[in-house]
Amino acid sequence: MAEKVFSIIEVAEQDGKWGYSDINFSAGRTPDPPESGGGPVWRQVSPVAIPGSGLAAVGSDEDDRRVYYQDLNRSLVGAAYEPSLPDGRWVGYRAFTAEMGAPSADVGSALAVTGRLGGLRVYYFDDGRLDGGRRLVRLEEQSREWTFAVCADAPRGSLISPLAAVTTGQGEYVYYIDGRGHILEASWPGVAGWSVTDVTSGVEGCPTPSPLSRLTAAGCGTDSRLVYFLDENNRPVQLEHVIIAGTKKKPEGRVMWQVRNLSAFGAPAAAAGSRLVVVLTAEDHPQLYYLDTDRMVVEAEFNGHGWEVNRAGVAADDGAGAPPAAAGSSLAAVASADRRATRVYYLGAADQSSEPPGSDNNLIELQGAGEKWTSRRLGAELDLPDVATAVPSPIAAIYTSGPRVYYVSEE
């Protein structure tokens, strides 16, 4: 049996048409005529992924793209797409451990990226081959030159800790969960190095995250920060960093974190360990997406006055419902260019009524806003390469010239 190869698949909509490509392999043709057996030849152009690799992506309005993952040597790799070249192509990569001595990534480490091309920040947990690992590592890009820094004195991430990174007018912030189940905020003020805050301990009444809780965050404006997680009953919780204006009695004002249990607004409990993703509307209002106990997509949206809960998966396709997610499915969401609509991506559960029975690797798109949603079985429609199933593959999504979705495949 041939050894499986794990690579990164990009699924994209361009000019209304969907297609996919493998960013680690380029398809070419042999010079031989067809009758001599010539045909497509795949040439490896970047290191292949490790099973269970983390995944993060970022792009620009000009359609430049960067995708980050782990290779077989556990080095963090950044693959680059340059649209200015003929037909556009994945033109190169950086293997940060081999090239600049950055710590290798822990197996299954989550990845987070923030910033703009030319000034990116990438975060991951190191593998600590000498000291136990799970230390936060920050890669910084300035004018295409990279440096790294290790957050050596902060609590280490839990074995399954997620990562979320945001940027506001005040700076950059990254969130993770330590071995005690506390949510930590690490920021990089500049030459002073790391600053780490235990958000859980600093917020009165903050619930303890579930041991399986995922985490997501959003930032905007001067210093608006929103962090989401699941409590011990798998209910979604929002932590909001707020700036309270000064008054006559307290002219200096206040900066504080506030906690809000979204179940109080009708948000149902999530499936244990459900991924959480958040996007911001054109008004910078949060829309949170997760899977409920039936593994259907739920949207909890702040409309500027209060919270609305939409069972997007159940309501999709005029009430027929979108396919439920596979057990352990990842989740990704991206707003449209005008941020008036959202696309949510996940892996659909196997259709056991089909002949032969389906598999849990059918990429689903759920598109819409409010109560109007439609679903699309991209996996079946495009005959996509199999999603890696030994360890549930993360899904990453960005919007450049159109929606682009990334996952780890096994072939």
- Tell the burial category of 229 from Cβ atoms under 10 Å away from its Cβ (0-12, 13-18, 19+): buried
- Looking up tokens 């996952």, which residue turns up? 407
Q: What is the pLDDT of residue 364?
A: 96
- Confidence label for 252 from pLDDT (cuts 50, 70 and 90): low
Can you say how many angstroms the Cα of residue 158 is from the centroid of all Cα atoms in its chain?
18
404 strand-pairing partners: 12, 398
Contact 31, 39 (CB under 8 A): no
- Kindly report the number of other CB atoms within 10 A of residue 301's CB atom: 22
Q: What is the pLDDT of residue 411?
A: 72
59 strand-pairing partners: 65
**Token pair listed for 256:** 């504080």
3-state class of 35 per DSSP? Answer: helix
Q: What is the pLDDT of residue 29?
A: 46
| Whole-number Cα distances in Å, 309 to 66, 267, 370 | 33, 6, 9
Contact 111, 162 (CB under 8 A): no
What span, in angstroms and rounded, lies between the C-alpha atoms of 48 and 75? 11
- Confidence label for 251 from pLDDT (cuts 50, 70 and 90): low
Contact 382, 18 (CB under 8 A): yes
Residue % of the chain over a pLDDT of 90: 66
Higher pLDDT, 181 or 352: 181
DSSP letters spanning 265-286: GTPPPBPTT---EEEE-TT--E
Higher pLDDT, 157 or 389: 157
Average confidence (pLDDT) over 329-357: 83
What span, in angstroms and rounded, lies between the C-alpha atoms of 394 and 53? 8
- Confidence label for 1 from pLDDT (cuts 50, 70 and 90): very low
Q: What is the pLDDT of residue 30?
A: 45
pLDDT single digits (tens) 365-399:
999 987 899 999 999 999 999 888 766 679 999 99
Q: Is residue 355 predicted with pLDDT exceeding 50?
A: no
**Token pair listed for 117:** 């091309």
List, as own/partner pairs, every contact residues 307-310 make where C-beta atoms lie below 8 angstroms and the sequence separation is at least 24, other chains included: 307/262, 307/265, 307/266, 307/267, 308/265, 309/262, 309/265, 309/266, 309/267, 309/268, 310/370, 310/371
Average pLDDT, the chain: 88
Is the pTM above the cut of 0.85? yes
pLDDT single digits (tens) 78-108:
999 988 876 667 878 999 999 999 999 998 8
Q: What is the pLDDT of residue 231?
A: 96
What span, in angstroms and rounded, lies between the C-alpha atoms of 329 and 183? 23
Closest CA to 54 of 106, 120, 127, 117: 106
Contact 68, 47 (CB under 8 A): no
Phi (first) and psi of residue 313, to 5 degrees: -65, -40
Range with top average pLDDT, 17-31, 288-302, 379-393: 288-302
146 strand-pairing partners: 141
Average confidence (pLDDT) over 305-312: 94
